[in-house]
Amino acid sequence: MKVVILAGGFGTRLQEYTNVIPKPMVTIGDKPIIWHIMNHYSSYGYTDFICALGYKSHIVKDFFLNYKYLNSNFSVNLASGIYEPLNHKSLDWNVSLIDTGDTSMTGGRLKRLQPFLNDSTFMLTYGDGLSNIDIDRLLDFHRSHGKMVTVSAVHPSARFGELVLDNELVTSFQEKPQINQGWINGGFFIVEPDFFSFIDDDSTVLEKNPLETVASIGQLAAYKHTDFWQCMDTKRDLDYLESLWQTGNAPWSH
């Protein structure tokens, strides 16, 4: 099954980085976040990726085109140009890099990928969110209900500490609690090909008419994920993900 990653947006809330590189190429450790997302899918055996590119697409293409060279030691004969890898742990991934336009909306980007998906069920996520979601259980859930689309529902991390009060007495103080009420779209979709009929053109926002319509006809199911999920919208988010990685406490890492 193919995995589609939406990786073409401008990332305006992370401009200190995205003025230079596209958001999916912002690094955690020494690898861009899109690599971390792909590595999570790969750990469940899903290694056929289609990346919907847009803003600064050449930077993403350069990374994957030169991945083998950038991640190995090698010798090169400067006269002949012959390259010899000295050590390289290869990844058995197939990565298709498709330019879907600089200004296309999320639905439009997905629509442009339809010819590459062979009228088959596919997985879909965003290029800026990490989770330890169990992909096998997600797929089992999707197959069990028979709906057109499954979306992962998550609890976002609170941005500020939560106080529980009894009059003037603080009975609980939690710096980064999980919100107990309210689910949001966490990405990590599974989609049947019939969904494409709900996307009009490049101007279509995936999260507006297509998903709203599918929900209204009872064809959108939610897989509730209550464990780790974190988007990378701001520098604070990035710093948090980086700290988890550097301390060896990254829940998405396998």
Q: What is the pLDDT of residues 91-130, one digit of tens each?
A: 899 999 999 999 999 999 999 999 999 999 999 999 999 9
pTM for the model stands at 0.89
pLDDT in tens, 2-33: 999 999 988 777 878 788 899 999 999 999 99
* Most confidently predicted of 12-21, 133-142, 173-182, 232-241: 133-142
pLDDT greater than 90 at residue 165: no
- Residue 226: exposed, middle, or buried by beta-carbon count in 10 A (0-12, 13-18, 19+)? exposed
Q: State the chain's mean pLDDT as an integer.
A: 89
Residue 72 has a pLDDT of 83
Confidence band, pLDDT 50/70/90 cuts, at residue 176: low
Mean pLDDT value across residues 177-184: 64
| Strand duo 122-126 + 3-7: pairing | parallel
Alpha carbons 76 and 72: distance in angstroms, whole number: 12
CA 204 – CA 108 distance, rounded (Å) = 5
Is the confidence at residue 188, as pLDDT, over 80?
A: yes
**Confidence at residue 85, expressed as pLDDT on a 0 to 100 scale:** 79
- Residue 82's pLDDT is what? 86
pLDDT band at 168 (very low <50, low <70, confident <90, very high): low
pLDDT at position 159:
58
Flag whether pLDDT at 90 surpasses 80: no
pLDDT at 174: 59
The pLDDT value given to residue 10: 82
| pLDDT tens digits along 198-230 | 999 999 999 999 999 999 999 999 999 999 999
pLDDT band at 161 (very low <50, low <70, confident <90, very high): low
CA torsion sign for 237, 106, 214, 33 is negative
Characterize the bridge pairing of strands 169-174 and 162-166.
antiparallel
Q: Which segments of 164-234 does DSSP mark as H helices, in order?
A: 209-216
Q: How far is CA 209 from CA 15, 37, 124, 189, 215, in A?
A: 28, 27, 17, 16, 10
